Amino acid sequence: MRIAIADDLETDLQVAASKVRQYIEAAYPEAMKNFELDTFPSAEALLESFEAGKYELLILDIFMADMTGMEAAEAIRLQDEKVPIVFLTTSQDYMLEGYRVFAAGYLLKPLTEHLEEFSHTMGHILPSILEEECFISTTVNGEELEVLVSKIVYLDINVRHKLCIHLVDTVFETPMLYHQCQELLIDRKNFIECHHRIIINMDYVKRMEADSFLMQNGDSVPISQRRKKETKALFMHYLVHR
């Protein structure tokens, strides 16, 4: 699980990071082995680093200088419709604005004076995030690797007839067999086999074209003629029910 926090007040940023880490260590100690926490001193710094699918949770101060947390959230929603966004705020007056970006919750500052509300909000959001965390164990260059399923954009077979797993920020070849990955992914609601030995994660589809999917990373993934009708129906169902 990877979380990002953005706040232009250094003390508040460090307090938020500390409280998030302490909460996860206490409530979900098993999640700590795959836990990453990135902190940013401004909304602009976060947006420079942001990519769809990179984070499982964003915590944004709503009153940052220059670009506000709300403005950052609106920019993020253009790239990633699903990532939960929680706002840090000193006032409840702006809570209604969060509907525009489907805010998952609010944390009142200073956090040290609102720990009960903090625990309630985190306890509401984190279980669903952690439930979705599933890993595929494989080997890359002789080293054991656990791949977070939610980070898989698509997988295919390369010219060397090896399975390639395309993640948000990298691609690697693995000795794992295609059918092994297929068995693990194909029954998940967001994965679909659109072509012989190609499986995509529909969470990362930018748009469906006549004979291909354009993925958010810019890759074009083909749709076979034989699977086109079924693929279109499944993708439409996914869009309606996601």
Domain end call among 131, 154, 172: 131
The domain that contains 220 carries what CATH number? 2.40.50.1020
DSSP 20: H
Looking at residue 110, its pLDDT comes to: 94
Do 6 and 102 lie in one domain? The reply is: yes
Looking at residue 36, its pLDDT comes to: 94
Looking at residue 98, its pLDDT comes to: 60
Whole-angstrom distance, CA of residue 189 vs CA of residue 206:
17
Do 123 and 145 lie in one domain? The reply is: no
| pLDDT tens sequence for the chain (242 residues) | 899 999 999 999 999 999 999 999 999 888 888 899 999 999 999 999 998 889 999 999 999 999 999 999 999 999 988 899 999 998 776 666 666 677 898 999 999 999 999 999 999 999 888 877 788 889 888 888 889 898 899 999 999 999 999 998 899 999 999 999 999 999 888 999 999 999 999 999 999 999 999 999 999 999 999 999 999 999 999 998 77
CB atoms within 10 A of CB 173: 14
The token pair at 16 is 């938020």
Domain end call among 131, 159, 190: 131
For 50, the domain range is: 2-131
Tell me if 59 sits within 8 A of 12, measured CB to CB.
no
The alpha-carbon radius of gyration of the chain (Å, integer) is: 20
3-state secondary structure of 86: strand
Nearest alpha-carbon partner for 213 in 195, 188, 196? 195
Looking at residue 100, its pLDDT comes to: 66
Whole-angstrom distance, CA of residue 70 vs CA of residue 85:
10
Looking at residue 101, its pLDDT comes to: 79
Do 193 and 123 lie in one domain? The reply is: no
Task: Classify residue 169 by burial, with Cβ atoms within 10 Å: 0-12, 13-18, 19+.
Answer: exposed
- Any idea what the Cα angle at residue 204 is, between residues 16 and 235, rounded to 5°? 130
Q: How far is CA 47 from the centre of its chain?
A: 14
Domain end call among 103, 131, 159: 131
Q: What is the number of domains present in the chain? A: 2
Looking at residue 94, its pLDDT comes to: 62
Whole-angstrom distance, CA of residue 68 vs CA of residue 75:
11
Do 159 and 106 lie in one domain? The reply is: no
Looking at residue 34, its pLDDT comes to: 82
Do 126 and 145 lie in one domain? The reply is: no
Looking at residue 33, its pLDDT comes to: 81
Whole-angstrom distance, CA of residue 6 vs CA of residue 46:
7
